[in-house]
């Protein structure tokens, strides 16, 4: 049907929606449901064409296979003769279910013999739509015409699913991602506990291997615990810095700065790797890969946490110290040995606006695009 014909269609008196008719017009295969006098249903795939007869939409279906030369031997034809009510469903399938769609047509079907009103129009519409019919001798065959059509339809976007580009304010997201920065000096203003809980909940939404969330978070709030943690980690760090050959004064200055950070931040969060729920492999290579996936995922969880804090006006500073002395952290905080401390996030309100580190330009980040 041309667009002109679509416009010529009568207003949807019997519930035939113009958009639904356009959908049907543009698809090539449908499924025709008929039933016999006793109600026994039958469904067959059909090709069809939309025709306009006396200003009303109708659907034409050719009969191009005739067992023993008799169209009436076909079940769909016998059913229609016994019971004219039929349904035709035309649908779109897509792996993105927001793009699913179908239109259901109901109507009264009849068998139209050659020479009867509508037969010639039906054949013309079918031949225009399907060139295959051009070489078939259909003039002497009856066609099925569905009239009094009404339509019902549904699309995946009816569920409220939107296209990705329309989901969120992209500018806001960019501002959030670019605004976050590491803060290493905090003032003493307390951070409301719900902000911390919300940030940890956001961490929980990070992607993870097999969806098993191989990380847990320890929150350290009490000053005594923070001091004990700072002291214990300082011992290890002092020994390590001295091992690196750093002078005593420099070592003590760095330790003091780190201790100050841990003591001033209202909360410390220790993201721990928790491998208990992950797959176990007989070979070390796959086992290592499994653990690497968990560590990658821990990084994603921490980023969610930092962005959530930043959105709430709270800053965080990522410290790697626990990674270098996990057993010390476990011991001083009395943690289960299945929890492997991987980092420490000191969080609070920034004492000053820190200098931002520059970032690589996009063309350095993308090393290949094929």
Ligand X SMILES: Cc1cc2nc3c(=O)[nH]c(=O)nc-3n(C[C@H](O)[C@H](O)[C@H](O)COP(=O)(O)O)c2cc1C
Binding site for ligand X (CB under 6 A): 181-182, 184, 317-321, 357
Nearest to 333 by CA among 233, 263, 184, 190: 233
Q: How far is the CB of 352 from ligand X (least distance, A)?
A: 13
Name the minimum Å distance from CB 94 to ligand X: 38
Of the pair 148, 182, the CB lying nearest ligand X is at 182
- C-beta of 50 vs 346, nearer to ligand X: 346
- CA end-to-end span of the chain: 42
Nearer to ligand X, 168 or 324 (CB): 324
Q: How far is the CB of 183 from ligand X (least distance, A)?
A: 8
Whole-number Å distance between alpha carbons of 305 and 214: 15
Q: How far is the CB of 268 from ligand X (least distance, A)?
A: 13
Q: How far is the CB of 306 from ligand X (least distance, A)?
A: 8
- Closer to ligand X by Cβ: residue 76 or 340: 340
- From residue 316, alpha-carbon distances to 25, 188, 308 in Å are 58, 14, 10
Phi-psi sector, 358: left (phi>0), alpha (psi -120 to 50), beta = beta
Give the nearer residue to ligand X in terms of CB position, either 320 or 360: 320
61 or 220: whose CB is closer to ligand X?
Answer: 220
Minimum separation from the CB atom of position 241 to ligand X (A): 13
């Amino acid at each position: 049907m041309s667009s002109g014909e679509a416009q010529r269609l009568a207003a949807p008196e019997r519930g035939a929606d113009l958009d639904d008719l356009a959908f049907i017009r543009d698809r090539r295969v449908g499924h025709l449901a008929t039933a016999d006098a006793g109600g026994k249903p039958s469904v067959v795939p059909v090709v069809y064409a939309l025709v306009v007869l006396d200003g009303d939409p109708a659907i034409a279906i050719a009969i191009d296979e005739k067992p023993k030369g008799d169209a009436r031997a076909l079940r769909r034809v016998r059913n229609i003769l016994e019971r004219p009510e039929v349904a035709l469903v035309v649908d779109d399938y897509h792996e993105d279910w927001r793009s699913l769609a179908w239109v259901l047509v109901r109507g009264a079907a009849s068998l139209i013999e050659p020479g009867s009103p509508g037969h010639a129009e039906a054949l013309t519409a079918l031949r225009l739509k399907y060139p295959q019919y051009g070489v078939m001798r259909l003039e002497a065959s009856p066609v099925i015409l569905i009239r009094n059509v009404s339509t019902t339809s549904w699309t995946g976007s009816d569920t409220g699913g939107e296209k990705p580009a329309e989901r969120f304010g992209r500018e806001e997201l960019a501002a959030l991602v670019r605004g976050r920065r590491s803060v290493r000096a905090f003032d003493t203003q307390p951070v409301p506990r719900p902000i911390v809980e919300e940030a940890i909940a956001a961490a929980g939404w990070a992607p993870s291997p097999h969806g098993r969330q191989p990380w847990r978070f320890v929150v350290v709030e009490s000053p005594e615990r923070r001091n004990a943690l700072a002291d214990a980690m300082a011992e290890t760090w002092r020994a390590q810095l001295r091992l690196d050959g750093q002078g005593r004064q420099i070592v003590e200055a760095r330790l003091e700065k780190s201790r100050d950070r841990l003591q001033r931040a209202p909360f410390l969060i220790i993201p721990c790797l928790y491998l208990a729920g992950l797959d176990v492999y007989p070979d070390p290579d796959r086992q290592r890969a499994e653990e690497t996936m968990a560590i990658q995922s821990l990084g994603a969880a921490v980023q969610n946490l930092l962005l959530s804090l930043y959105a709430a006006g709270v800053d965080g500073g990522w410290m790697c110290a626990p990674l270098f002395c996990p057993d010390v952290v476990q011991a001083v905080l009395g943690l289960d040995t299945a929890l492997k401390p991987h980092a420490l996030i000191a969080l609070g309100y920034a004492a000053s606006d820190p200098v931002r580190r520059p970032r690589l330009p996009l063309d350095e980040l993308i090393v290949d695009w094929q």
